[in-house]
Amino acid sequence: MTYNYNSQRPKLILREYGRNIQTLIDDAIKIQDDAERQKVVLDIIDLMGSINPSLRNVDDFRHKLWDHLFMMSDFKLKADSPYPIPERETLQRKNKRLPYPKSNIKFRHYGKFVEALITKAKNIEDQEKKQAFTDIIGNYMKLVYQNWNSENVSDDIITTDIKFLSGGELSLDEDSNIDSLSKSSRRPQQHNQNRNNPNNKNRNFRQNQSNSRYGQNNRNFKKRG
């Protein structure tokens, strides 16, 4: 007995249609009569549309079915298509590989965005605006640093990093408050949320009502005793 494994069969061009559709297309290529072959091809197109219903959401999905038909036949099938017969190079073109952005980020926890902000701040001529923008950058840097490292970060680290990234052109004022963003981003405390939760109020009301009922029953039991 011989076994016919999928690993020994020819490779499927479009796996979503399965082996049976591929076999029907291969048999249609061998049909000599043009009229009979055209009839078989139209039946294959209808069968492909029922097997792959996701293409019904695609614009002009029957055009897509005919393109797939020619692809699966390795462009050997001769049929009267209602659409222009595609070329092999058009349907089998390789996707261009997108180049991966290569940039040397000095501090990965700050990211490229912080470096772009520092470059922009260095080009500001108005000293007052420049200093205000530098404080905002320092504020954002501390927020990003705390997201990367949950431990508390000192302002000295932010001051040193911003000087290093700007090449010594930017510095934070001693009175700069760079904690506003980090404090505003913190989540409210859990007990405040529980206190304001209406479900907890209803739960407490039911619990108090239940306790008062049990207390009344205990008093009645003592009186009876």
Out of 50-59, 95-104, 132-141, give the one with best mean pLDDT: 132-141
- Domain total of the chain: 2
Q: Examine residue 70 and state whether it is found in any structural domain, yes or no.
A: yes
Q: Answer whether residue 141 shows pLDDT above 60.
A: yes
Q: Answer whether residue 6 shows pLDDT above 70.
A: yes
Q: Answer whether residue 143 shows pLDDT above 90.
A: no
120, 79: one domain: no
pLDDT recorded at residue 59 = 66
pLDDT recorded at residue 17 = 87
pLDDT recorded at residue 198 = 54
60-69, 115-124, 182-191: the lowest-pLDDT one? 182-191
Residue 17 belongs to domain spanning:
8-91
First to last CA, the chain: 92
Q: Answer whether residue 80 shows pLDDT above 80.
A: yes
- Spatial separation of the C-alpha atoms in residues 121 and 25, rounded to whole Å: 65
Q: Examine residue 100 and state whether it is found in any structural domain, yes or no.
A: no
85, 118: one domain: no
Pick 202 or 50 by higher pLDDT: 50
Structural domain ending residue among the three candidates 91, 122, 144: 91
Structural domain ending residue among the three candidates 91, 123, 146: 91
Q: Examine residue 205 and state whether it is found in any structural domain, yes or no.
A: no
pLDDT recorded at residue 140 = 87
Q: Examine residue 1 and state whether it is found in any structural domain, yes or no.
A: no
Share of the chain above pLDDT 70, in %: 72
82, 140: one domain: no
Pick 212 or 38 by higher pLDDT: 38
Q: Examine residue 130 and state whether it is found in any structural domain, yes or no.
A: yes
pLDDT recorded at residue 24 = 92
Q: Examine residue 217 and state whether it is found in any structural domain, yes or no.
A: no
> pTM for this structure?
0.42
- Spatial separation of the C-alpha atoms in residues 72 and 67, rounded to whole Å: 9
Q: Examine residue 151 and state whether it is found in any structural domain, yes or no.
A: yes
73-82, 136-145, 162-171, 176-185: the lowest-pLDDT one? 176-185
Q: Examine residue 105 and state whether it is found in any structural domain, yes or no.
A: no
pLDDT tens digits along 94-133: 667 777 777 777 887 888 888 888 889 988 888 889 888 8
72, 131: one domain: no
